Chain A
Amino acid sequence: MKVSLRWLADYIDLPTKDPGELKYVLDLIGHKVESVDVLDARWTDVFVAQVDEIRPHPNADKVRLCKVSTGREQIEVVCGAWNFETGAKVAFAVPGATLPDGMEIGRRQIRGVESAGMILSERELGLGDDHTGILVLDADAPVGVEFTELVALPDVIFDLEITSNRPDAMSMIGIARDLAAYYDIPYSLPPTDPPTSGEAPRIKVRIEDPTGCYRFVARELRGATIAPSPFWLRQRLRAAGVRPISNVVDVTNYVMLELGQPLHAFDLDKVAEESIIVRRALPGERLVTLDGVERTLVSDDLVVADAVKASGLAGTMGGEESEVSASTKRVLIEAAAWDPPTIMYMSRRHGLLSEASRRFERGVDPNLPPDAASRAARLMVELTGGTTPAAFVDEIARIVEPGRIELSLSEVTRILGDDVPLAEVAPLLRRLRFGVEGTDPLSVTVPTYRPDLTRPVDLVEEVARLFGLDRFAETVPTGPGGGWTVEQRRHRAVRRILTGAGLSQAVNLAFLGLEDLEAFAYPSDHEGRQTIAVKNPLNDELSSLRTSLVPGLLRSLRYNGARGLTDVALFEIGRVFHHRHWDEDSRVPDQPDRLAFAATGGLGPRGLDGSARPTDVHTATAIWRLLGKGLNLDFELKSAVHPGFHPGRTADVFVAGQRIGHIGEIHPVTAAAYDLVGRIAAGELDMSPIIAPVPDWQINEPSPYPPVAFDLAFEVPAELPAADLVRATVAPHAEQLEEARVFDEYRGANLPAGRKSLAIRYVFRAQDHTLTTEEAADLRNDLIVAAQSVGATLRGT
């Protein structure tokens, strides 16, 4: 809400006018200042003037001679602008004036004619950049007034963020009231009583829906002349960001800004039978609102109707048909109190967030309508020349009384500590115009404009707010001992290992799009496709929760590829969401943490030519082994097939016999869907089995004795996994094995069909002696015999 300091001065005499100090206080008491606009009075000897006469310059055709009256004198001036005619009101600098940019205005000869003073453009006034012509003022600008006065300067405009619990503060009076309480000074309300005529009101009001409408005040204005508002009123509305329309409409807006009560003005001659009926809309009922949109109403909508039909959406927007127009003579001023949720849902249902609905949905004081209607009537009588009957209709469906709260002083201490002297509590609450009786507990009466205050703790908050949160001491309590859990420490280890391997941690939005589901070609019964839909998605890409982290990482690889960044290795740790309950006791979806990675281009150390080993399935398995060993996991890889992954280059990962995910290469067709070329190493694993605590590792004492080593090449069935051969051969002597590493795999011409060759280096070492030649020969022999169990034969024999 925009608050003009000049306007505020109508109600309160503040101890300071310093914008910085006021900003500090407004911030402190909960009305955050979003911006401060300091508007200086930057002109002297610049007046509102009228152009009386325009004639050509005798010696020049690009400029004209203008006779300008300033109210005191008529001056002739040469002007080069053509965007105005005789009668225009302009900003005129008389000789001797100084402009904001320092330019001094005097008398000078222009092509043989004396020009005294200057008609100013927006840019010359320092108000803006427009220099295409002079600034033409509104037709009713009073001639002879200082330009500064016309634009109501100097002034300071504070743009305040009003929190949703303070509808009362969405008004000049509300802000004045809070500042008065903070500074402990008085404030005054504007006069409300209009001069009245003795006529009797003819308006009838019936509230058929007491749930939606608490109170409805209708006041009549007769013999009005609709015209533009005077300059001061329009200026104040503009300063508050409201567009002036006509005197009657402007007054309704002005009173809303001043008191916080939104009003509506009807053309009473267009209200059938001069009857107002507040009711829910009939199904399918139609209404053209002030914005010209024809709306079909639903039965939850609350309308203000006349005897025949709906003529406005309650508290939200009026109807076009009963709108005040230039020909309006009789006006019905509506000041009502509406049920906040009704207005909130209705205004959003129709996409109509108005200044009125924003106030009503937060809760306008139900006892404000009579005064607000009178205030509006008073201003309208003054501005339209109309009259208003002394009597008006005040239909009350629900009486709202001031609240009463018992506040124990110990409650203040319990929450605020010792900084607030208990003797100050009652005075602080009285400064807010609350009724306070008793000593302890205090019996506090809360005005109906503060619907946010219902409990003792709400009063404690008011005490803290007014006392000033800047006056509390700072103390630091400490907890009973914390720290990372084992799982959290292992989570960190996962990240440390992966970054050490050259992968960077990505963060993606937790959604999947249709594009992803198609690219991964999940079968219909696959958990990857069984996504949870967002009921109100922002767009198609954000319509389903992710069931896998890999698509997001591939999108990130694509983003980088599109920018010429080809060597990219990413990992991400985050939730996926499955269409099943988390566990038996839980009604929320299963949402486990996953770890995923994806790498394209090259990964690993780079030589002088800049190239690293190209990524492929072995990149993926290397990353996993680094992780598995680093976290002391007992793991195994087995060839597997998964949607979106290369069917021949993907492995399931088993930890302690449990499948925890898969790693490998992205299927080329899937990769192509993300504009990725080359082999993409990727994988996705459940985090919980990775970070679950494992037994502490135990030292393996290194033997002081020398090793024996031999290289053996076996011919094996082509489909036999190398790991199976290694495991089978070393089993008989596992306790002496130091290393068994496949260093060559060969499939070729000199092997029988369906066979391949695997060459393995074995290193053995005994813990307690040097292995003898005979022992070495036995070891070698045992390896060869054991190999036969998996169909392997020693090559070259």
Chain B
Amino acid sequence: MDLEQLVDAALLKATNATGAAELDAVESELTGRSSPIADARRQLGKMPAEERPAFGARVNEVTERVKAILATRRAELVRIEADRLLEDDKVDVTLEAWTVAAGTENLIQQTIDEVSEIFIGLGYRVAEGPEAELGWYNFGALNTPPDHPSRLESDTLYLDYGDPADEILLRTQTSPMQARYMESYEPPVYVVVPGKTYRADPIDASHLPVFHQIEGLAVDTNITVSDLKGTLAYFAREFFGPQVVIRLRAHFFPFTEPSAELDVSCFVCGGSGVNCRLCKGSGWLEMAGCGMVDPNVFEAVGYDPATVTGFAFGMGVERMAMVKHGISNIRHFIDNDIRVLRQFR
């Protein structure tokens, strides 16, 4: 067999080989001790010196080509063999044979974080305050007169603790932290306060004795009603979607003047109210109480009401979460039913 035929023979034999052993035999036959290539290398020594480089180059070239052909075929056979084995390794990928499941953060927590981060984006800080609170911070500092009905035991839970004159109670709102925060920091103040609040309300489909609020407070040298309105509108669009609009309705709270309630246009019916189960036809969803900080509150905390103005708002966390996720039974927030918790994604 001359060197030209050797390459063709290698191709043919390698292609016909069906296993590694066969291919080893072919390799030995074509490149081994008694192969045509070995013969050719032996001839090289006997050749005239001027013919040697050309012939030598040809022998090397053929050798490389044969080796390359065999290597290619060898890799091909490995692949074919692996494919045969992997065919048997096939599984049903739809089987849930191994499950790693994460838990969830509570929807209350998620809502608090979501609201907090919207305000963090506006340069606010997040603070928390005591839940068992002095009557002074919950009422007195917030311009609530001693004879206000909200102080009655039918509304507020009082604690058997400390000096009776301190009226230790479970805070009925996150607002006392307004006063505490202003006592601790000089203006400007931009802060939101999430937390638990308590009322003497028996449990029913829409009331809990323990629920959550987020308070917001901005105090600066030049805060106006427009700032309150714009901030709440910004918040509502970030939280409920860019299509919502807000309105403020005049209202009354002891610690703000003027006071208002915030309505957000219903994002289910787009505000039309037509056949809407969420807003029950009104087109609006009541979402927060708010207003301009009453001068008496500034005085109570040692701020000068002649030099600063501010706004405050408070919203119900459960309410926001219920509205956003179509939850109609507030008990889902206290039962900790794992089937519900797992949905808090």
Contact surface of A with B, Cβ cutoff 8 Å: 27-30, 32, 163-166, 340-341, 344-345, 348, 361, 414-417, 419, 452, 455, 457-458, 460-461, 464-465, 469-470, 472-485, 488, 492, 495, 498-511, 532-539, 542, 545, 556, 559-560, 563, 565, 568-571, 574-575, 577, 579, 581-582, 587-589, 591, 605-608
Question: Is the beta-carbon distance between B103 and A502 smaller than 8 angstroms?
Answer: yes
- Chain B: which residue is nearest A534 at the CB level? B157
- From B113, B190, B292, give the contact of A482 (CB < 8 A): B190
Chain B residues within 8 Å of A414, by CB: 224, 309
Number of A-B contacts (CB under 8 A): 274
Question: Is the beta-carbon distance between A29 and B250 smaller than 8 angstroms?
Answer: yes
Q: How far is the CB of A357 from chain B (nearest CB, A)?
A: 11
Question: Is the beta-carbon distance between A479 and B225 smaller than 8 angstroms?
Answer: no
- Chain A: which residue is nearest B263 at the CB level? A27
- Chain B: which residue is nearest A553 at the CB level? B336
Question: Is the beta-carbon distance between A476 and B341 smaller than 8 angstroms?
Answer: no
Dominant SS among interface residues on chain B: mixed
- From A344, A469, A539, give the contact of B260 (CB < 8 A): A469
- From A465, A476, A500, A591, give the contact of B258 (CB < 8 A): A465
Question: Is the beta-carbon distance between A499 and B103 smaller than 8 angstroms?
Answer: yes
Question: Is the beta-carbon distance between B159 and A475 smaller than 8 angstroms?
Answer: no
- Chain A: which residue is nearest B171 at the CB level? A588
Q: How far, in angstroms, from A483 to B121 measured CA to CA in the complex?
A: 8
Contacts A417-B225, A605-B98 aside, 19 further interface pairs with beta carbons under 8 A come to A414-B309, A415-B258, A464-B250, A464-B258, A469-B225, A469-B229, A469-B247, A474-B226, A474-B234, A479-B123, A479-B191, A480-B123, A495-B105, A510-B196, A560-B337, A575-B196, A587-B166, A591-B132, A607-B97
Question: Is the beta-carbon distance between B123 and A498 smaller than 8 angstroms?
Answer: no
Among the listed stretches B18-26, B55-63, B202-210, which one makes contact with chain A, having 4 or more residues with CB under 8 Å of it?
B202-210
Question: Is the beta-carbon distance between B210 and A509 smaller than 8 angstroms?
Answer: yes
Given contacts A348-B154, A483-B120, A608-B97, contact A535 B159 (CB under 8 A): yes
B323 contacts the other chain (CB 8 A): no
Interface residues of B in 224-254 (CB under 8 A from A): 224-227, 229-231, 233-234, 247-252
B27 contacts the other chain (CB 8 A): no
Question: Is the beta-carbon distance between B125 and A461 smaller than 8 angstroms?
Answer: no
Question: Is the beta-carbon distance between B334 and A504 smaller than 8 angstroms?
Answer: no
Chain A residues within 8 Å of B95, by CB: 608
Contact surface of B with A, Cβ cutoff 8 Å: 95-106, 108-109, 113, 116, 119-120, 122-126, 130-134, 147, 149, 152-154, 157-163, 166, 168, 170, 188, 190-191, 196, 198, 200-202, 208-210, 218, 220, 223-227, 229-231, 233-234, 247-252, 257-261, 263, 292, 294-295, 309, 333-339, 341-342, 344
Question: Is the beta-carbon distance between B196 and A499 smaller than 8 angstroms?
Answer: no
Q: How far, in angstroms, from A417 to B339 measured CA to CA in the complex?
A: 50
Given contacts A340-B147, A575-B196, contact A163 B252 (CB under 8 A): yes
Q: How far is the CB of B143 from chain A (nearest CB, A)?
A: 11
Question: Is the beta-carbon distance between B251 and A478 smaller than 8 angstroms?
Answer: no
Question: Is the beta-carbon distance between A588 and B132 smaller than 8 angstroms?
Answer: yes
Q: How far is the CB of A365 from chain B (nearest CB, A)?
A: 18
Q: How far, in angstroms, from A538 to B170 measured CA to CA in the complex?
A: 13
Question: Is the beta-carbon distance between A499 and B160 smaller than 8 angstroms?
Answer: no
Q: How far is the CB of A508 from chain B (nearest CB, A)?
A: 7
Question: Is the beta-carbon distance between A534 and B149 smaller than 8 angstroms?
Answer: no
- Chain A: which residue is nearest B190 at the CB level? A479
Chain A residues within 8 Å of B132, by CB: 532, 545, 577, 588-589, 591
Chain B residues within 8 Å of A472, by CB: 225-226, 229, 248
Question: Is the beta-carbon distance between A417 and B226 smaller than 8 angstroms?
Answer: yes
Chain B residues within 8 Å of A475, by CB: 224, 226-227, 229-230
Q: How far is the CB of A36 from chain B (nearest CB, A)?
A: 9
Q: How far, in angstroms, from A542 to B334 measured CA to CA in the complex?
A: 13
Chain A residues within 8 Å of B260, by CB: 469
Chain A residues within 8 Å of B294, by CB: 457
Q: How far, in angstroms, from A18 to B103 measured CA to CA in the complex?
A: 52
- Chain A: which residue is nearest B148 at the CB level? A164
Given contacts A508-B334, A559-B335, contact A482 B119 (CB under 8 A): yes
- From A28, A345, A588, give the contact of B168 (CB < 8 A): A588
Question: Is the beta-carbon distance between A344 and B103 smaller than 8 angstroms?
Answer: no
Question: Is the beta-carbon distance between A587 and B134 smaller than 8 angstroms?
Answer: yes
Chain B residues within 8 Å of A577, by CB: 131-132
Question: Is the beta-carbon distance between B109 and A476 smaller than 8 angstroms?
Answer: no
Chain A residues within 8 Å of B116, by CB: 484
Chain B residues within 8 Å of A340, by CB: 147
Chain A residues within 8 Å of B130, by CB: 582, 588, 591
Q: Which of A417, A458, A501, A533 has the most CB of B within 10 A?
A: A417
Chain A residues within 8 Å of B188, by CB: 479-480
Q: How far, in angstroms, from A560 to B227 measured CA to CA in the complex?
A: 46
Chain A residues within 8 Å of B233, by CB: 474
- Chain A: which residue is nearest B128 at the CB level? A593
Q: How far is the CB of B92 from chain A (nearest CB, A)?
A: 11
Q: How far, in angstroms, from A230 to B337 measured CA to CA in the complex?
A: 58
Question: Is the beta-carbon distance between B113 and A474 smaller than 8 angstroms?
Answer: no
- From A479, A508, A510, A533, give the contact of B122 (CB < 8 A): A479
Chain A residues within 8 Å of B234, by CB: 474, 476
Q: How far, in angstroms, from A665 to B251 measured CA to CA in the complex?
A: 52
Question: Is the beta-carbon distance between A535 and B153 smaller than 8 angstroms?
Answer: yes
